[in-house]
Amino acid sequence: MNPTNAHESARAKDGSARYLYLPAAVAALGGLLFGFDTAVINGAIVFLKRQFALTDSQTEFGASSLLLGCVLGASLAAFTSDRFGRKKSLLAAAALFTVSSIGAALPRNITEFVIARVLGGLAIGLASTLSPLYIAEISPARIRGLLVSVNQLAIVTGILLSYSVNYGLTGAGPANWRWMFASAAVPSAFFLVTLLSVPESPRWLVQKGRDAEAENILSRIKGRGAAQTEIHAIRAAVAEESGNVFDAAFRKPLVVAVLIGLFSQFTGINTIIYYGSLVFLEHVPNQTASSALFANVMIGAINFVATILGMYLIDRAGRKPLMTSAFAGMGAALVGVAASIHFHGPPFAVLLFVLVYVACFAVGIGTGTWVLMSEICPNRIRGRAMSIATLFLWCGTLIVTLTFLSLVRVLTAPGAFLLYAVICVAAVLFVKMVVPETKGRSLEEIESWWLADAANAKQ
């Protein structure tokens, strides 16, 4: 037998990691752009506020404009992903990322800036829903948590990259914020081009009756025997489901996914991601724009390192223990942040508690939220359910971002951080009492568990 043919025969029998890891890595680029576009405002907002002489309310609106688009994009993701497929929807997101990054660099006034950022938000709303969903749908159960969390690693890589770019451009003159936004155009275009080479989600193909295409893709990833077994499992699951996202059997997993998304935001992480530079400038003594942006780089670095630790632990420790410990650690760190600011502690003390807070989030919540949301809902409704959960997550982000500066005026900064600490306690109780463990289960097994739980509830 020809060696090349023998190699192809073995690949068809056993599958090839290349057909799994490359599409997952390309999809995760959506996460990188998600992280970059959301976090770039943190450094740019200091200079944008000066150039356009923005009030606190205008600053909140400028920072939140992206999130308005995120809410709309997440709400559209259900329709687009189920109608046109995961791949085409991601291509649309990549095109919007490119247009938005250029548009946000060229505004003559705050209105034009807001329009460009809303377009970027549309892209993020789509990508934040579809990148983890796509990765979950092509991944074997034993490493699904790891691969979906690659998307979270890409998000924090984008955050760190944006903080580093912002810091590097601090001294580039009054137009430095324009270059901060424009720098995202290169990875956006790269994402658009590389998406052309990835396959469609096999689970979506089965739902559309294109079983042969789905089996061919799964054969390349897992081998022919495993592909045939999984096709049968997906087909059976699709045949048994009504497809109504609000059916009684599907209601509970949808509610769990929604609440996990809301808790991940209401515990205050985006007060640091979006307003970290302003927090350090206005509430920590003896800070300059440069030192505040350097603190952001340190936050981005610890976020990156802790996310890698979370990726290592997600399929070993399990989702529930990781998320419970993370919410508890975040609550304790927020108490430390509040106390340090209230008692005028040294700047390094505030930064230390902020770093602990971000590290806890990255290990358990940043990783765990997207993994759980991508895997917890049944196959037939996963696109719509993931879109609904992501929509609520972005609504939570929008609420926190729109209200933080106002909340600080009413409660003071220590009071605002203590409020987020109380929400962390509620999140710990919710995860311990309500969220099921999904570690090591196939998507079909998770669905069967929910159906059994709903049947038991009726008895």
Closest C-alpha among 154, 216, 220 to residue 20: 220
Q: Check whether 145 has a pLDDT greater than 80.
A: no
- In total, how many domains does the chain have? 1
Q: Is 213 within a domain?
A: no
Of the two residues 436 and 244, the one the predictor is more confident about is 436
- Please report the pLDDT score of residue 388 as a whole number: 84
More confident residue, 85 or 421: 421
DSSP 329-384: HHHHHHHHHHHHHHTT--HHHHHHHHHHHHHHIIIIIIHHHHHHHHHSS-TTTHHH
> Please, what is the average pLDDT of the chain?
84
**pLDDT value at position 51?**
83
Query: Strand, coil or helix: what is 288?
Result: coil
Q: How far is CA 37 from the centre of its chain?
A: 12
Q: Is residue 9 part of a domain?
A: no
Exposed, middle or buried: residue 6 (CB in 10 Å: 0-12, 13-18, 19+)?
Answer: exposed
Q: What is the CA radius of gyration of the chain?
A: 22
Is residue 242 pLDDT above 70, yes or no?
no
Q: What digits encode the pLDDT tens for the residues 69-127?
A: 888 888 888 788 888 989 999 999 999 999 999 999 998 888 899 999 999 999 998 98
Classify residue 183: in a domain, yes or no.
Answer: yes
Alpha-carbon distances, residue 37 vs 127, 138, 268, 402 (angstroms): 12, 26, 19, 17
95 within some domain: yes
Q: What is the pLDDT of residue 363?
A: 93
Is there a domain that residue 176 lies in?
A: yes
Tell me whether residue 304 is in a domain.
yes
What span, in angstroms and rounded, lies between the C-alpha atoms of 102 and 104?
A: 6
Could you read off the pLDDT of 333-364 as tens digits, one per residue?
999 999 999 998 888 899 999 999 999 999 99
Q: Which residues touch 151 (CB under 8 Å, ≥6 apart)?
A: 27, 28, 30, 31, 131, 132, 135, 370
CA distances from 293 to 28, 31, 317, 321 (A): 26, 22, 34, 33
CB-based contact 87:201 (threshold 8 Å) = yes
More confident residue, 284 or 35: 35
Please tell me which residue, 447 or 6, carries the higher pLDDT value.
Answer: 447
Domain with residue 248: its CATH number is: 1.20.1250.20
Within-domain flag for 217: no
Using DSSP, state whether 26 is helix, strand or coil: helix
User: Could you tell me the residue range of the domain that residue 107 belongs to?
Assistant: 15-198+241-458
What integer is the mean pLDDT of 26-30? 89
User: How would residue 383 be classed by pLDDT, with cut points 50, 70 and 90?
Assistant: low
Place 241 in a pLDDT band, splitting at 50, 70 and 90.
low
Residues 6 or more apart in contact with residue 84 via CB below 8 angstroms: none
Q: Is residue 8 part of a domain?
A: no
